[in-house]
């Protein structure tokens, strides 16, 4: 079976956009004084097609998978850390577990392709395509059917979740390498501008990683179309996240993008359906060196920069209160007229 790409509507609704801007401009504040919060409020209003947007039952989804490339030593951590961190998510001890509790976010962990079987329990969805991908330095990371299945499974995850906002995260030792390869092939940037320190490599290790990833590019020299690139270099967690993002966009949900790896999944989704970007809020710019360039390629402006390089959806969860605040400004902040407050700039306002 193949993956059926969903159709996406263009959210450029001039009438609604003008109404949202009018509402924001007439709140009890100087014109534009809430800066990015105002543009965020306008974006969320357009995504949810409402002048009084409300974010309901927000979902954090962390996709986990192992990478055959990890055996080449591209990470500072052993591959076993993938399943160990999945256990940590489920036990409530990881950073994303803490942040999800703090902000009232439902957390779902998806086994997209972890090399070790995880005991079923609440919060866990087992959708394992295989026990890790193949080594992409010797050929494609996954077969065509595996790639299509991962995309379909990601879409199914979103279909089964409530709410109108999804925060995307991931876990997989070696997946900064996967993201860097996807980035290099889809953006055309030199590999040296895409590869960073990942989980904390020293300079010598970065150079070894760079050489191995160059092998992967050569081994998949014919992969240039978006799905071919995903198949060649992506982890199952990246492919599943790509399918989930496309489905979330088709359902009109707000998509909150985390860091480097999550953005690489979006890079593929964007190449397939450019309108997916209209639904995306970019939570932060990570400390992984290629992320700023990836964001620039997408012309995306992150909400914050906190020098994070953790993944898991942690940056998306940290930025979440800003989305809540933007919606509350639209819904709850009084206008000059309603509050009986004099507005010196009334004549200049539309």
Where b means 16+ CB within 10 Å and e means fewer, 181-218 reads: bbbbbbbebebebbbbbbbebeeebbeebbebbbebbe
Q: What value, to the nearest 5°, has the Cα angle with vertex 164 and ends 13 and 54?
A: 75
My answer on whether 69 and 199 are in the same domain is yes
My answer on whether 47 and 107 are in the same domain is no
Domain assignment present for residue 47? The answer is: yes
Print the domain residue range for 333. Answer: 14-54+328-348
Domain assignment present for residue 4? The answer is: no
Domain assignment present for residue 263? The answer is: yes
pLDDT score for 64: 98
Residues designated catalytic:
312
My answer on whether 130 and 216 are in the same domain is yes
My answer on whether 50 and 97 are in the same domain is no
Domain assignment present for residue 8? The answer is: no
Quote the pTM value: 0.95
Which CATH number goes with the domain that contains 33?
1.10.1610.10
- In whole angstroms, what is the distance from residue 209 CA to residue 69 CA? 10
**Number of independent structural domains in the chain:** 2
pLDDT score for 212: 96
For each of the chain's 350 residues, which pLDDT tens digit applies?
A: 789 999 999 999 999 999 999 999 999 999 999 999 999 999 999 999 999 999 999 999 999 999 999 999 999 899 999 999 999 999 999 999 999 999 999 999 999 999 999 999 999 999 999 999 999 999 999 999 999 999 999 999 999 999 999 999 999 999 999 999 999 999 999 999 999 887 678 888 889 999 999 999 999 999 999 999 999 999 999 999 999 999 999 999 999 999 999 999 999 999 999 999 999 999 999 999 899 999 999 999 999 999 999 999 999 999 999 999 999 999 999 998 888 888 865 444 44
Q: Yes or no: say if 234 and 208 are a contact pair by the CB < 8 Å rule.
A: no
My answer on whether 339 and 315 are in the same domain is no
Domain assignment present for residue 244? The answer is: yes
My answer on whether 299 and 336 are in the same domain is no
Domain assignment present for residue 261? The answer is: yes
My answer on whether 128 and 40 are in the same domain is no
My answer on whether 205 and 266 are in the same domain is yes
Q: Yes or no: say if 294 and 183 are a contact pair by the CB < 8 Å rule.
A: yes
Q: Yes or no: say if 55 and 87 are a contact pair by the CB < 8 Å rule.
A: no
Which CATH number goes with the domain that contains 114?
3.40.50.10210
My answer on whether 311 and 275 are in the same domain is yes
My answer on whether 24 and 139 are in the same domain is no
- In whole angstroms, what is the distance from residue 176 CA to residue 140 CA? 17
pLDDT score for 342: 85
pLDDT score for 344: 62
């Amino acid at each position: 079976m193949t993956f059926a790409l969903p159709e996406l509507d263009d959210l450029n609704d001039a009438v609604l956009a003008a109404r949202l801007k009018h509402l924001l401009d007439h709140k009890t504040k100087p014109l534009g004084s809430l800066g990015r919060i105002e543009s965020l409020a306008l974006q969320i209003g357009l995504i949810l097609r409402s002048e009084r947007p409300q974010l309901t039952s927000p979902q954090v989804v962390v996709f986990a998978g192992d990478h055959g490339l990890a055996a080449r030593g591209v990470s500072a951590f052993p591959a076993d850390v993938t399943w160990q961190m999945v256990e940590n998510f489920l036990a409530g001890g990881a950073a994303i577990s803490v942040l999800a509790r703090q902000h009232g976010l439902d957390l779902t962990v998806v086994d997209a392709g972890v090399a070790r079987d995880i005991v079923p329990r609440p919060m866990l969805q087992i959708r394992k395509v295989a026990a890790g991908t193949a080594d992409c330095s010797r050929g494609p990371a996954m077969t065509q059917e595996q790639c299509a299945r991962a995309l379909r499974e990601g879409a199914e995850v979103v279909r089964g979740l409530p709410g109108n906002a999804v925060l995307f995260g991931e876990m997989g030792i070696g997946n900064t390498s996967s993201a860097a390869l996807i980035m290099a092939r889809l953006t055309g940037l030199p590999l040296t501008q895409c590869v960073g320190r990942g989980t904390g490599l020293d300079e010598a290790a970065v150079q070894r990683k760079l050489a191995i990833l160059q092998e992967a590019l050569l081994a998949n020299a014919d992969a240039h179309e978006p799905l071919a690139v995903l198949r060649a270099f992506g982890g199952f967690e990246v492919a599943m996240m790509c399918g989930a993002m496309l489905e979330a966009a088709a359902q009109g949900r707000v998509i909150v993008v985390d860091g480097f790896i999550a953005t690489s999944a979006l890079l593929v989704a964007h190449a397939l359906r450019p309108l997916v970007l209209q639904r995306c809020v970019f939570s932060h710019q990570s400390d992984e060196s290629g992320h700023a360039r990836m964001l620039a390629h997408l012309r995306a402006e992150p909400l914050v920069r906190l020098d994070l390089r953790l993944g898991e959806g942690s940056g998306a969860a940290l930025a979440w209160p800003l989305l809540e605040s933007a919606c509350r400004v639209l819904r709850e902040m009084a206008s000059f007229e309603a509050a009986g407050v004099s507005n010196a700039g009334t004549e200049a306002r539309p």
